Amino acid sequence: MPFFKWPDIIKDVEPGPTLPAGMSRQAVSLGDVMLAMHEAFPNLKCEPHAHPSAQITYMLKGKLRMRIGDEERVIVPGEFAYIPPNVEHGIESLEEYVLALDIFLPPRPDIAQRLEELAE
């Protein structure tokens, strides 16, 4: 299936190992890449973590403070950040709603497993 609509993709809102409280995710694996639309309420902090997949975060709405390795910056709509594989990173939404598109290469196995659980 080559065409998709975000409203048709299951939304995960349950906090767990891959999703902090106050955040939601819609994700889809497409061969060697995974797209994930993340929403975050204001003032959400995601603990620093790392994973073997490279990640690109493209900001659609709001402001997001990102720490990647030893660097920190606030990104806004139209900006994006690249997180190399296995580099520790964390985020903090500021005083407004955040909508960001994350691209993972290869797909994250932990999120893929969660997608399977949601589909059942």
User: What fold does the segment set 6-119 form as a domain?
Assistant: Jelly Rolls (2.60.120)
Return all residues near 7 (Cβ < 8 A) that are at least 6 apart.
none
Q: What is the DSSP letter of 96?
A: S
pLDDT digits (tens, 9 = 90+) for 52-104: 999 999 999 999 999 999 999 999 999 999 999 999 999 999 999 999 999 99
Q: 24 and 11 in contact (C-beta within 8 Å)?
A: yes
Residue 1: pLDDT over 80 = no
pLDDT tens-digit series, residues 18-41: 899 999 999 999 999 999 999 999
Percentage of the chain surpassing pLDDT 90? 92
